[in-house]
Amino acid sequence: MKEYETVIGLEVHVELATKTKIFCGCSTAFGAAPNTQTCPVCTGMPGSLPVLNKQVLEYAIAVGLAANCDITRYSKFDRKNYFYPDNPQNYQISQLYLPICRNGGVEIETEDGGTKIIGIHEIHMEEDAGKLIHDDWEDCSLVDFNRSGVPLIEIVSEPDMRSAKEVIAYLEKLRLIIQYLGASDCKLQEGSMRADVNLSVRPVGEKGFGTRTEMKNLNSFKAISRAIEGEAERQIDLIESGEKVIQETRRWDDAKGESYAMRSKEDAQDYRYFPDPDLAPVVVSDEMLADIRARQPEFRNEKMKRYKEEFDIPDYDIEIITGSKHMADLFEAAAAICRQPKKVSNWLMVETMRLMKEKEVEAEDLRFSPENLAKLIMLTDSKAINSTVAKEVFEVMFDANVDPEQYVEEKGLKTVNDEGALRRTVEEVIAANPQSVADYHNGKEKAIGFLVGQTMKAMKGKADPASVNRILKELL
Amino acid sequence: MSIMDMTAVELSAAIKSGATTAVEAAQIMLDQIEKQDAVYNCYVTVDREGALKQAEEVQARIESGECSGPLAGVPAAIKDNMCIEGMLTTCSSKILSNFVPAYTAEAVLNLKKAGAVILGKANMDEFAMGSTTETSAYGVTRNPWDTDRVPGGSSGGCAAAVAADECFYALGSDTGGSIRQPASYCGTVGMKPTYGTVSRYGLIAYGSSLDQIGPLTKDVTDCAAGLQTIASHDVKDSTSIERGDTDFMSALIDDVRGMRIGIPRDYFGEGLDEEVKEAVLRAAKELEQRGAAVEEFDLSLTEYAIPTYYTIAAAEASSNLERFDGIKYGYRAGDYSGLHNMYKKTRSEGFGEEVKRRIMLGSFVLSSGYYDAYYLKALRVKALIKKAFDDAFSKYDVILGPVAPTTAPRLGSSLADPIKMYLGDIYTIAVNLAGLPAISLPCGADRNGLPIGLQLIGDCFQEKKLIQTAYTYEKIRGAFPSAGKKEVE
Amino acid sequence: MANIISDETIEYVGILAKLELSDEQKEQAKQDMGNMLDYIDRLNELDTTGVEPMSHVFPVQNVFREDVVSNGDTREQLLSNAPAQKDGMFMVPKTFE
């Protein structure tokens, strides 16, 4: 069998984090009852007209700049015409002829440790469709237009990727850029980031491209990897058995681990794009561009560089922390409050990572505030609580962002600093454990550890272990 | 003077002076409708109760001094492609036979704020596609001057209602002549403003880049008052233009000295009825005698405006009318199997022939492989047409010509040959392509007593020059009888 | 007639436009569209080399809204015209994906 190379390009849809929809003043908030966030515009009522949300344009340009794109100075919206119940006008307002950004690229790390540029063909703005719910009882579908008109940018890459790993690296890179910009939370599971995979195969060494297919419905990095591997295999099998790959759109069924063609004879795939006469052209002035450029945040590379200069924390920590915009924000804010960057970093790297793994929480979804983390660090610094208690408190904070000061107070977790009470407890422990006392006197230094443990237990953990140790040694 | 003989502005003055009331005026109109509309069929919907209730409210607002505009208290008709909250809005189509919008078109809101009393919704060609009002799913409208003839279209119901004294003025829409041509056929004044002057929000789109709402009225004064009332910058319409010069009544000046009027030779060639030609040229002569500088010139490209228009309008319409799918509102076929069959049956049963013809043409010219050859070609020719007008307006203030090649044709004589019908739009259509303002006003009658329309075209934002010229001509011409009287010179 | 519209073309346009025509209507549509395209073909008499397609007549540009929520819940109004509805949603024939 010949050796084949997989050629992959991505179409990534990202839901922008605007308060309102792209062409009307309806809220984009999640979780509302069906059709309660709609108006004549986003439900295709006759006579309604779209007006562009300025924030959508600004986010699109910001992403374009961060992805090294040329910004189109004279841009327009086009109508993409197709009938489907989730598409209320039966045309989607998108951009085909003059998309807002073109000719960019982002750098990814390759498997061999090198780097590679993945080209970005274009980024355009468009509106999302509504949601279809299948009702088995009535044997029909139900349409909810709450998501209809939610702003999207579609980032179209060049066919520059050669493996699932590169695809994931590219997606992670895009996600990080967009999260740093605050333009979207980019959650694949929730659909705020969606990737369609265009894939073809060709014998290694060949210059031309094979026939490609487009794969939809990929809801996780895992699904993307599996779909890529599955589709490459399917295409190679076809070619090897002398059949032809058909250019088509396929839907991935992750549960079954296979895809199927989404074709119907009523689906002509002829979208009859033409400029939308209801929307004015967008002209990006030098001022607008300079303004957006000036507001660009510090991206990861710059941040890593600054951290190395500013903070005495390991490079590995810096890499992990800056790998999430939310975590970097947490770090910086907490460090600024408690002035203990190293300790903040420790909390993030050890306890936070442990709990994220245990509870399957993404870095972007961490709930505790930097203020509370800083308070916790200050509580331990002042020996108001010991490290065991601190870990317990942190776990509660991790789940519910409680105020550690208040929590410690309410639950009575403060270290007992009453020398007299501590001394009485130690005396009781000594009296109750003659054997250990004897061992200690016979030179078994370790026996003191047991006695400290017993004292801590008697104090319900609320003692400072160093003080316990000191008093024990004194009394023994 | 009886109330019915008053113009809209005169009526409003009479209401304000206490000589009559908004309620009385509305009642007289409703009686007229009751008496005649079974014959003329100007209205798809008459809102009797609502009109009287509005009239009472407006009367109170007038009396309290809160409402003092030139049209306060005057009953009006609205073309049935403008949404009005709570009122059936059909576009004269079966597919919207039961659609009751929850919002009101911005132009209608402006009218209401100014104290208009809305009598109901006027008949039209289905989705404004047609030149005769014969493509309405709710029956043809008859021309009040001769009930065997069409009122023109697509705002035929509006023009006929004004002519038949079933309202004092009406709001129509003009995509390729749909206000001016029926105004001409029915002996009324009609104006298509500069694109962007009146908000399109709530106007059910036919050709979005061409559609514009405008007034149909008894005279030029009412026309200026109507336009002044509905013009506004609307943040809900991205194509709405902010302009500070919408005090159109200030242009009601009886003087054309120094006005440069160009007469395009292209508008007086083959196909133009002799009587129409004579009447229009006579009007030009009269304006010249009053001091206007009148000159013939070659506009060029006139014959290409029609294919350009039908390509662009059909393309936009094919997309604009996709939303009528039987899911969210309007008609849904009763018997279907599956989603796509539901779409097809609903739309095939819901749309009439002319609408389907244009949807199919529009879908074709946008389809893969034909977009460049047809659609982009048409947009390029549109640019040339715009340029031809720009050149003309560097020399003239006003372009003067006929509105339509003939007076109103007989019912049933137009639809059989679509292209021949489209040719009737030759003098009106380029105006929409170039986004220009134009006014139509009566300038005589033919041997059958049918009104002949005079068209004045202005450069963008130059409505005032049109109003001034039209007003001056109207003074020269003298009163034009209403259809009810049929006392044509 | 220079433009002969085939059965396939009419069928295809019917799929695009979601219109179902009887055989008789199809014949008529073929004729009408052919005539219209012949007529439109007259535009080819004009040399438009170098002419930019003009989609917007006016130099209106950059019409924006601020990102501020201005609409509330109007579901009842929205659904008041629905041919079929259930649970606050529009009911449509089953969609297959």
- Are B52 and B132 in contact by the 8 Å Cβ rule? The answer is no
Dist. CA B237–CA C58, nearest whole Å: 14
Predicted confidence at residue A464, as pLDDT, reads 79
Residues of A in contact with B202 (CB under 8 A): 47-48
Q: What percent of chain A has pLDDT over 90?
A: 77
Q: Which domains does chain B have, with CATH numbers?
A: 3-260 (3.90.1300.10)
Res. B487 pLDDT band, cuts 50 70 90: very low
Compute how many other C-beta atoms are within 10 angstroms of the C-beta atom of residue B395: 11
C-alpha dist (Å) from residue A77 to A18, A125, A278, B209: 19, 8, 9, 14
- Are B346 and B334 in contact by the 8 Å Cβ rule? The answer is no
Dist. CA B489–CA B480, nearest whole Å: 9
Check A274 against B327: CB less than 8 A apart.
no
The verdict on A110 and A150 lying in the same domain is yes
Q: Which of B133, B129, B65 is nearest to B409 (CA)?
A: B133
- Please state the separation of Cα B38 from the chain's center in Å: 23
List the catalytic residue out of B12, B92, B131, B178: B178
A81 touches chain B (CB under 8 A): yes
Predicted confidence at residue A265, as pLDDT, reads 67
Dist. CA B470–CA B192, nearest whole Å: 14
Containing structural domain, residue A393: 298-411
- Are A385 and A393 in contact by the 8 Å Cβ rule? The answer is yes
Chain C's closest residue to B236, CA to CA, is C65
Q: Which of C57, C65, C94 sits opposite B434 (nearest CB)?
A: C57
The verdict on A426 and A380 lying in the same domain is no
Give the pLDDT confidence of B347-369 residue by residue, as tens digits: 999 999 999 999 999 999 999 99
Residues of C in contact with B342 (CB under 8 A): 92-93
Residues of B in contact with A88 (CB under 8 A): 323, 327-328
The verdict on A303 and A280 lying in the same domain is no
Check C90 against A138: CB less than 8 A apart.
no
Give the pLDDT confidence of A39-75 residue by residue, as tens digits: 999 999 999 999 999 999 999 999 999 999 999 999 9
A71 touches chain B (CB under 8 A): no
Residues of B with a Cβ under 8 Å from any A Cβ are 82-83, 89, 91, 96, 99, 101-103, 105, 200-205, 207-209, 235-239, 315-316, 318-319, 322-325, 327-329, 339-340, 343, 363, 366-368, 371, 375
Give the pLDDT confidence of B156-197 residue by residue, as tens digits: 999 999 999 999 999 999 999 999 999 999 999 999 999 999
The verdict on A335 and A192 lying in the same domain is no
Check B307 against C29: CB less than 8 A apart.
no
Dist. CA C22–CA A427, nearest whole Å: 103
Residue B488, pLDDT > 60, answer: no
Chain C's closest residue to B361, CA to CA, is C33
Q: Which of C71, C87, C88 sits opposite A25 (nearest CB)?
A: C71
Predicted confidence at residue A4, as pLDDT, reads 95
Check A265 against C15: CB less than 8 A apart.
yes
Residues of C in contact with A133 (CB under 8 A): 89
Mean pLDDT of B47-70: 97
Chain C's closest residue to B100, CA to CA, is C81
Q: Which of B82, B103, B323 sits opposite A44 (nearest CB)?
A: B323
ipTM greater than cut 0.95: yes
The question of whether B79 is a catalytic residue gets the answer: yes
Predicted confidence at residue A455, as pLDDT, reads 85
Check A20 against C69: CB less than 8 A apart.
yes
B356 touches chain C (CB under 8 A): yes
Residue A197, pLDDT > 50, answer: yes
Dist. CA B472–CA A203, nearest whole Å: 81
The question of whether B300 is a catalytic residue gets the answer: no
Residue B489, pLDDT > 50, answer: no
Chains that touch A (3 or more CB pairs under 8 A): B, C
Residue B27, pLDDT > 70, answer: yes
Residue B397, pLDDT > 80, answer: yes
| DSSP letter, residue B116 | -
What is the signed CA dihedral for B51, B52, B53, B57, rounded to 10 degrees? Answer: 100
C-proximal residues of B, 430-449, CB under 8 Å: 433-435
Q: What percent of chain B has pLDDT over 90?
A: 95
List the catalytic residue out of B12, B16, B79, B131: B79
Check C46 against B384: CB less than 8 A apart.
yes
Residue A159, pLDDT > 50, answer: yes
The verdict on A184 and A54 lying in the same domain is yes
Give the pLDDT confidence of B220-262 residue by residue, as tens digits: 999 999 999 999 999 999 999 999 999 999 999 999 999 999 9
Predicted confidence at residue B327, as pLDDT, reads 98
Compute how many other C-beta atoms are within 10 angstroms of the C-beta atom of residue A19: 15
The verdict on A401 and A431 lying in the same domain is no
Residues of A in contact with C10 (CB under 8 A): none
The verdict on A426 and A337 lying in the same domain is no
Check A88 against B343: CB less than 8 A apart.
no
Chain A's closest residue to C20, CA to CA, is A266
Give the pLDDT confidence of A92-107 residue by residue, as tens digits: 999 999 999 999 999 9
Q: What is the mean pLDDT of chain B?
A: 96
Q: Which CATH number fits the domain C7-45, given the four candidates 3.30.420, 1.20.1050, 1.20.120, 1.10.20?
A: 1.10.20
List the catalytic residue out of B12, B93, B136, B154: B154
C91 touches chain A (CB under 8 A): yes
Predicted confidence at residue C96, as pLDDT, reads 65
> What b-and-e string marks burial along A25-58, b requiring 16 or more CB atoms within 10 Å of the CB?
bbbbeeebebbbbbbbbbbbbbbbbbbbbbbbbb
Residue A216, pLDDT > 50, answer: yes
Q: How many domains does chain A have?
A: 3
The kind and range of the H/E element at A104 are strand A101-109
Mean pLDDT of A416-436: 82
C-proximal residues of B, 120-179, CB under 8 Å: none
The verdict on A66 and A158 lying in the same domain is yes
- Are A52 and C65 in contact by the 8 Å Cβ rule? The answer is yes
A-proximal residues of C, 20-49, CB under 8 Å: none
The kind and range of the H/E element at C40 are helix C23-40
The verdict on A231 and A312 lying in the same domain is no
C-alpha dist (Å) from residue A114 to A111, A157, A433, B245: 7, 20, 62, 65
The verdict on A46 and A120 lying in the same domain is yes
Residues of C in contact with B195 (CB under 8 A): 57-58
Check C92 against B339: CB less than 8 A apart.
yes
Compute how many other C-beta atoms are within 10 angstroms of the C-beta atom of residue B1: 8
Mean pLDDT of B10-38: 97
Residue B484, pLDDT > 70, answer: no
Least confident among A170-184, A456-470, B316-330: A456-470
Instruction: Tell me the backbone φ, ψ of residue A15, rounded to 5 degrees.
Output: -80, 125
Highest mean pLDDT range out of A467-471, B3-7, B157-161? Answer: B157-161
Nearest chain B CA: its distance from C82 CA (Å): 5
Q: What is the mean pLDDT of chain C?
A: 93
Instruction: Tell me the backbone φ, ψ of residue B232, rounded to 5 degrees.
Output: -165, 155
Instruction: Tell me the backbone φ, ψ of residue C89, rounded to 5 degrees.
Output: -130, 160
Give the pLDDT confidence of B317-335 residue by residue, as tens digits: 999 999 999 999 999 999 9
Res. A377 pLDDT band, cuts 50 70 90: very high
The verdict on A356 and A426 lying in the same domain is no
Residues of C in contact with B238 (CB under 8 A): 60, 63
Q: Which CATH number covers residue A447?
A: 1.10.10.410
Mean pLDDT of A156-175: 96
Residues of B in contact with C32 (CB under 8 A): 357, 418
Nearest chain A CA: its distance from B179 CA (Å): 19
The verdict on A68 and A147 lying in the same domain is yes
